[in-house]
Chain A
Amino acid sequence: MTQAAGIVLAGGRSSRMGSPKAALEWHGSTLLRRICGIVARGVDGPVVVVRAPGQDLPELPDDVHVVEDAREGRGPLQGISAGLHAVRDEAEAAYVSSTDVPLLHPRFVAAVLGALDGDTDVVLPQVGGHRHPLAAAYRTELADAVERLIAADRMKPAFLFEAARVKRLDAEALLADPALAALDPGLDSVLNLNARDDYEAARARPAPEVTVRRFGALRRLGDGLPDPALIRAATLGEAAAAAGLTLDEHVVAALNGDQITRDPQAPLAAGDAVSFLAADAGG
């Protein structure tokens, strides 16, 4: 069993946004694709998307599982329940995220999960005067307790927090993590988008600053770009374009020296290091 899974709630009516949030464009990708990728980097277990019954979703990586709410429009507890049930045999805890947090940083996910200890069932960030139950960590064994609340029609997360051992993390506590303080000093990870204006303002922000390196014969590409180079890119595709590369069958990328990918929609976050290398590693 892994320590932590990711649960991304994609349901919700998006009524103030005017169109489904999950499919909103984000630097050549979609909001849902981005959040799934960011959450995946903060957990060591599976990532599950919870959608409304029959809801259309944008394209997702093959390793993202999709489950459905039992009923539509009953609020976040319904989605949390579906998600916790889906992962409880595979993980001890889960980071639960909404779809509409495009500035979420993987380090935030890791920091919240890292605060979970033996005396805690829920780690609940409290930033800007608000509790953030959809940017929080939950023990998966809470699945039955959540189900009981739903059966009793007690649909607010607050009812769960009354029944569980909750550790609240304020901004000061979160920023005590030096890595998070460096990468997301404003805790924009919890900035959620409700209306069209919110989306457009967030979309107009500069993409995160990342470091790109090109190895071997790829270094001569990039039109004089130094190596390494600091660029702004929200996805691997944007980073490749900035480096003068195309993510075809001859080029792969390593994210922070770890995951290898050639998915142009792979999300990038501030402080990431992207290494582009020849796909053929023969030697």
Chain B
Amino acid sequence: MTALIRASNVQKSFGPLHVLKGIDLEIARGEVLAIIGPSGSGKSTFLRCMNFLEEYDHGEIWLGDELVGYRQKPNGTRVKQKPEHIAKIRARMGMVFQNFNLFPHMSVLDNVIEGPTIVQRRPRDEAVAQAKVLLDRVGLSSKIDVYPETLSGGQQQRAAIARALAMNPEVMLFDEPTSALDPELVGEVLDVMRALAAEGMTMVVVTHEMGFARDVADRVMMMDNGNRIEIDTPQKIFTAPSHPRTAEFLQRVLR
């Protein structure tokens, strides 16, 4: 099976801070990858590089047969893609944020149809019909016309997942989707994600939810200090990590 996402030697610096030191990764279609590691390890930055919300400085990230964010010139150098082109490739990936980032001036339904109608220019009726199906799937049928501020964190995050799904993305990127939630609301969001994984959606999930990583992910990638420490099946990572740094990290978080 060919990889849907291929990253090679991805590097990124914020000024003098080298936050990604050369990440390699291949994600197959339908795969669920969990990225774990301590805060500051670069896992969110790496995820944000995948849809070019963060520009990487070196290396390559491919979505299918398209290089993300850059254009190779015949002489071997590369330049940043035109903004419209970057927008187009971003539209093929859904993203869910730690702080939900719903549009507060729009109803839940309008949040979900915004991308389909404005970016993809699909007919409104069709977008609304799809949005209703998606909102039903995330358990928000009764909240279609309310504004985000009236929703709980868990509901907001589920609406945000529906918003991302409405673009019919090829892959869903989750950036610590449950970290901002009250503990009792984490489960409802993970349930939605679990169902999504079961349907075969390709997912990359930066998470501190080790239970979710263990039960749902096909593979787990451990990152630390801008490096990929190891990547393996959850079974291997959680029972017999090959790297001491992973063992140490898991010991701290799984207590």
Whether A associates with B in a native complex is no
- Spell out A's residues near B (CB within 8 Å): none
